[in-house]
């Protein structure tokens, strides 16, 4: 038993260790992403200041509360809602690499999740310059309680797992369409609006907030970021974790089922 665990840790750990090298190989994109993020933050701050120009309170939130939430969402939420499973499945089918991948003595979905988890940690590390910029220029109100940070981290990891399983299901449509770009664009467009990355869900109409809560996008942005920003109290954590756990189990089972069915129609380079 221990030998098996050690082997799995060694193998999946080795896969995770490759990810930093992948990012460093394209360092220019890291800096380009930083400059784009700086511009995006400036636009969002200007937008919300204009929205609050004629009111002191919106949806129960002040301007400072909303700005703090938006800035935290840019730092923590944006990185967490990105998983590469849709692109990787589509690219693997397009160039034929998925055939060799499926022959390896590893669980394909588990290995992809480990890689995405490693990428999440790297994105947070690369966001340090952006965090310093936001702290110096706009100010950032971070919680001092370790319990809040622990609740945030646990909620974020659950939400990221939920998002990964959802993206895995979307990625499996590539087995039928052989092209995933369109579905990827739709997914990212919906996530940008319904995740709470641009607008806190508390500011949305009740019906739209209900829709956003049912969908998985808010699990990885609004829920964890609202904890850090103080919008969601710690007393709500048991209910939130129960909801996330149910959603994760359901999507995990569904993703395994959909992937198993999709393999029956696999087509690689016309084969």
CB neighbour list of residue 151: distance below 8 Å, 6 or more residues apart: 227, 234, 237
Burial of 93 (0-12, 13-18, 19+ CB in 10 A): buried
Contact present, 112 and 88 (Cβ < 8 Å):
yes
The pLDDT score that the predictor gives to residue 23 is 57
The pLDDT score that the predictor gives to residue 148 is 94
The pLDDT score that the predictor gives to residue 226 is 92
The pLDDT score that the predictor gives to residue 20 is 58
Three-state DSSP class for residue 58: strand
Show the low-confidence residues of the chain (pLDDT under 50).
270-271
The pLDDT score that the predictor gives to residue 2 is 58
Helices (H) and strands (E) in the chain, counts: 14, 0
Over residues 4-50, the pLDDT tens digits come to 556 555 655 555 555 555 555 566 777 788 888 889 899 999 999 99
The pLDDT score that the predictor gives to residue 149 is 94
CB neighbour list of residue 161: distance below 8 Å, 6 or more residues apart: 113, 248, 252
Sorted by where each begins, the domain ranges of the chain are 15-265
Question: What predicted TM-score, i.e. pTM, was given to this entire model?
Answer: 0.85
The pLDDT score that the predictor gives to residue 164 is 92
The pLDDT score that the predictor gives to residue 25 is 57
């Amino acid at each position: 038993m221990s030998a098996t665990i050690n082997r799995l840790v060694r193998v999946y750990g080795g896969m995770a260790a490759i990810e930093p090298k992948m990012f460093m190989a394209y360092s220019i994109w890291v800096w380009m992403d930083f400059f784009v993020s700086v511009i995006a933050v400036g636009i969002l701050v200007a937008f919300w200041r204009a929205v609050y120009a004629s009111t002191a309170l919106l949806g129960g939130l002040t301007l400072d509360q909303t700005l703090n939430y938006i800035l935290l969402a840019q730092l923590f939420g944006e990185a967490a809602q990105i998983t590469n499973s849709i692109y990787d499945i589509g690219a693997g089918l397009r160039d034929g690499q998925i055939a060799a991948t499926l022959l390896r003595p590893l669980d394909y979905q588990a290995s992809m999740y480990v890689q995405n988890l490693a990428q999440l940690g790297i994105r947070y590390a690369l966001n340090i310059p952006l965090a310093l910029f936001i702290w110096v220029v706009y100010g950032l109100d971070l919680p001092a309680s370790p319990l809040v940070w622990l609740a945030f981290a646990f909620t974020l990891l659950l939400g990221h797992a939920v998002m990964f399983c959802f993206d895995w299901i979307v990625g499996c449509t590539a087995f039928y369409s052989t092209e995933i770009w369109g579905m990827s664009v739709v997914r990212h467009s919906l996530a940008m609006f319904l995740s709470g990355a641009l607008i806190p869900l508390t500011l949305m109409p009740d019906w739209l907030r209900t829709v956003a809560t049912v969908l998985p996008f808010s699990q990885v942005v609004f829920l964890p970021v609202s904890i850090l920003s103080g919008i969601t109290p710690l007393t709500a954590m048991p209910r939130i974790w129960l909801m996330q756990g149910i959603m994760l189990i359901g999507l995990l089972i569904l993703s395994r089922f959909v992937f198993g069915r999709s393999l029956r129609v696999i087509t690689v380079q016309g084969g």
